[in-house]
């Protein structure tokens, strides 16, 4: 009986912290479109996206974070960090939006790899570091135009 009561209390605590976490993530500001927990692909190209096919990671920040490529192009992720990164498609943890990005995957420090040819039907593909899924600096997007 004591165990049952404890479990109920733990469950309530977990539910409470999850709710608090969720409410803090929904910022009223519309300036940061693709940052925050539980990365999902944006539906439109974020403001400030630049046309390039190279994204470089330094000090756990991907730059540029939002890019635009031609349909069928490949994107090169360069890990110039001193730690590994595991670059995958949104959403986390399914990685199903744009499987082309999953070709990059695990990059040791100093490594680089290309995505597959970006031929998805989506207009915008979000990406994140699967091992650090809530780090906003490692989230970004590839718009296909």
Binding site for Cu ion (CB under 5 A): 88, 92-93, 130, 133
Q: Tell me the C-alpha to C-alpha distance, in Å, between residue 109 and each of 21, 69, 112, 124.
A: 31, 25, 9, 27
79 burial level (CB within 10 Å; 0-12, 13-18, 19+): buried
Minimum CB separation of residue 93 from Cu ion in Å reads 5
What single-letter DSSP state applies at residue 100? Answer: G
Minimum CB separation of residue 40 from Cu ion in Å reads 11
85 or 130: whose CB is closer to Cu ion? Answer: 130
33 or 102: whose CB is closer to Cu ion? Answer: 102
Helix, strand, coil share of the chain (percent; to 5): 20, 30, 50
Minimum CB separation of residue 35 from Cu ion in Å reads 15
Minimum CB separation of residue 28 from Cu ion in Å reads 27
4 or 91: whose CB is closer to Cu ion? Answer: 91
Q: Are 145 and 68 in contact (CB under 8 A)?
A: yes
33 or 88: whose CB is closer to Cu ion? Answer: 88
């Amino acid at each position: 009986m004591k165990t049952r009561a404890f479990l109920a209390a733990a469950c309530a605590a977990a539910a409470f912290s999850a709710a608090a976490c969720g409410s803090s993530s929904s910022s009223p500001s519309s300036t940061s479109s693709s940052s925050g927990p539980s990365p999902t692909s944006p539906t439109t190209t974020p403001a400030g996206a630049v046309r390039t096919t190279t994204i470089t990671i330094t000090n756990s920040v991907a730059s540029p974070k939002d890019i635009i490529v031609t349909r069928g192009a490949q994107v090169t992720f360069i890990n110039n960090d001193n730690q590994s990164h595991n670059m995958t498609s949104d959403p986390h943890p399914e990685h199903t939006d744009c499987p082309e990005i999953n070709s990059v995957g695990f990059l040791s420090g100093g490594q680089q790899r290309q995505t597959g040819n970006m031929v998805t039907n989506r207009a915008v593909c979000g990406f994140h570091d699967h091992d650090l899924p809530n780090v906003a600096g490692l989230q970004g997007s590839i718009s296909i135009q």
